[in-house]
Chain A
Amino acid sequence: MIEILWFSTLTLYKIFSKNPEAVISLASKMLGLLNELDVKGSQMALLKIKFHLFIIGIIVKQRRGDISHAENEFKSEVKLIHELKSEIAEPDTIQRITFELEFARAYYLNRQKKDKHGEGQKRFQEIVKILKESCDKILGTLHYQTDVDRAKVALLLSKVQILSTRGTADTILKERLFSGLKQFQRSTKKLALQTSYSIGYLHYQYIIQFLIFSKANFERHFAQKTLSMEESAQLDRIKKIYLKQEALSLVKSVNPIRVLVDNIITIDQ
């Protein structure tokens, strides 16, 4: 009962308080009290781990601006979780904790890349590696209740793809996003909307890349010919019409806006 009461009290405080520092302070106070109770066992260790993960969530997500200074706090919480993990007996729970830690690390890196460190692509690759090689693998070993976690991994992957200039969504990611969307529609509208946006944006990114490719092909085709000024002007007009028609046909075939609108309508219903 105390487990449920304290954790929901902390969550309510997080929801209604505007001060992340005060929320972290309450979580730390609760952890101190749990230590004072001097109760051992798997369940108590798990409760403490949840509080540490809660603190990580606040550190990574709610501290605005440059979050690189939060690295030490993040590492210190991770260290404490690893220590507590040894008290947990159930392999499934240990895997779930590892998943949460890996996901938090990927999320943290994703936040860091906004800080103009100039190592964007390298960081993107690292995030993708964590998500695909750690998170997905762990989820593969768990037998139940992984749908929302899978959806969250897909959403974070898509966010990385969108921000990465080289990225395009592969078919598997698109399928995962659509399946994640269904999960989020049942539980959380905000993440459902973010997923819809990602789906739409990735289609948009695909169209842009196709157009750049088409334009390059077009220019290569005419590059070898010597044209008069009049012919050159005509060619420019043709190019514009051609690219416009290509864009229109792509928009018609892919219709990202329609995908987005359809999903928003579904969510509202």
Chain B
Amino acid sequence: MIMKLGVFPGGLLALDLKELVIHGFISDDWKATLMSLFTNDIEQSPQGYIGSDINTTEIKQCRTPVRHNTPQPIESFPISTGDFLWIQINKISSLNEVLLIPTQAVNEFLIREFQNEIKEIELMRLQYLTLLSQSLLAKIRSLSIYHESLLENSAFCQHGLWALTEDNSFYKKFLKDEVCMMSYLYNSNIKTAKDIQNIYNIHESNLSSSLRLSLIKPMIANTGTLTLFSTYD
């Protein structure tokens, strides 16, 4: 569990962990494991922001009216919030969610010392982030938060040169029938530009960390063909 959480520098929401179970990336005992480690009676660290309530960055470019969710207690996942030895647990009231962020030291240590051991986990992480990014784009489209422009030239386009090719194995396996899209993004609580921006802000550093070549290069080398896309997509 430490390794699987530790490779996401920006952390994961409890919703992400549920999603990882759906996709078979982690086992469904994650909740029990975390609850046994961080039950409400555990003494919290005196440092940092114990029981903190992070408000993610305001969306300045929000183009649709902002809907304010009424924060409700996160009853389904009673867990202590605060700074712990290897993890920081925060409540995100805007999403009514718990965010679990590995400490930077843990993330760096895993990458530095366990590069071989985390190869499979790293692959899982990249697959999950690919699904997440595609799902975010689909959600942005469906909510009309952003509109394609005449000279868009981005992954937001779905036509011509920009359409995902049907012979791409990742596309065939996960995206073609849209069955693997993030189910939590279609949850009724996520309806506005602000909600989507909150989720993006949480995952921005996770997405940026996909640029770590130190982890991608060995994967390419393992394919034996120097082909970036054959084995791992």
Per the bound structure, the CA–CA distance linking A191 and B159 in Å amounts to 14
A5-B153 CB under 8 A given contacts A30-B211, A37-B220? no
8 Å CB interface, A136-153 against B: 145-149, 152
A16-B216 CB under 8 A given contacts A60-B151, A107-B151, A149-B159? no
8 Å CB interface, A149-198 against B: 149, 152, 155-156, 187-191, 194
Is the pair A6, B211 in contact by a Cβ cutoff of 8 Å? Answer: yes
Is the pair A50, B161 in contact by a Cβ cutoff of 8 Å? Answer: yes
One of B44-52, B87-95, B113-121, B131-139 contacting the partner: B131-139
8 Å CB interface, B127-148 against A: 127, 129-130, 133-134, 136-137, 140, 144-148
Whether a CB of chain A sits under 8 angstroms from the CB of B104 is: no
Whether a CB of chain B sits under 8 angstroms from the CB of A85 is: no
Whether a CB of chain A sits under 8 angstroms from the CB of B217 is: yes
A189-B144 CB under 8 A given contacts A16-B200, A145-B159? yes
Is the pair B134, A4 in contact by a Cβ cutoff of 8 Å? Answer: yes
Nearest B residue to A155 via CB reads B150
Is the pair A148, B164 in contact by a Cβ cutoff of 8 Å? Answer: no
**Interface range for A:** 35 or more
Whether a CB of chain A sits under 8 angstroms from the CB of B30 is: no
Contacts of A155 in B (CB 8 A): 150
Is the pair B211, A29 in contact by a Cβ cutoff of 8 Å? Answer: yes
Contacts of A232 in B (CB 8 A): none
Is the pair A7, B151 in contact by a Cβ cutoff of 8 Å? Answer: no
Per the bound structure, the CA–CA distance linking A13 and B204 in Å amounts to 8
8 Å CB interface, B51-92 against A: 59-61
One of B10-18, B32-40, B180-188, B221-229 contacting the partner: B221-229
8 Å CB interface, A12-26 against B: 12-16, 18
How many residue pairs between the two chains, A and B, have CB atoms under 8 Å in the bound complex? 152
One of A51-59, A211-219, A237-245 contacting the partner: A51-59
Whether a CB of chain B sits under 8 angstroms from the CB of A2 is: yes
Whether a CB of chain B sits under 8 angstroms from the CB of A43 is: yes
A190 contact from B147, B211, B226, B229, Cβ within 8 A? B147
Contacts of B227 in A (CB 8 A): 39, 41
29 contacts between A and B (CB under 8 A): A1-B170, A3-B228, A4-B164, A4-B168, A4-B171, A5-B126, A5-B129, A5-B133, A7-B154, A8-B134, A8-B137, A8-B155, A9-B208, A11-B154, A12-B133, A16-B204, A33-B211, A33-B213, A37-B217, A40-B226, A44-B228, A50-B153, A54-B154, A57-B152, A93-B161, A97-B161, A149-B159, A156-B150, A194-B150
Seen from chain B, the residues whose Cβ lies within 8 Å of a Cβ on chain A are 59-61, 126-127, 129-130, 133-134, 136-137, 140, 144-164, 168, 170-171, 175, 197, 200, 204, 207-208, 210-211, 213, 216-217, 220, 226-229, 232-233
Seen from chain A, the residues whose Cβ lies within 8 Å of a Cβ on chain B are 1-16, 18, 29-30, 33, 36-41, 43-44, 50, 53-54, 56-57, 60-61, 93, 96-97, 99-100, 103-104, 107, 145-149, 152, 155-156, 187-191, 194
Told that A4-B170, A56-B151, A187-B159 touch, could you supply 20 new A-B pairs with CB distance under 8 A?
A1-B229, A2-B210, A2-B216, A2-B232, A3-B233, A5-B129, A5-B210, A7-B154, A10-B155, A12-B136, A16-B200, A33-B211, A33-B213, A36-B213, A37-B216, A57-B154, A103-B151, A107-B150, A146-B160, A190-B149
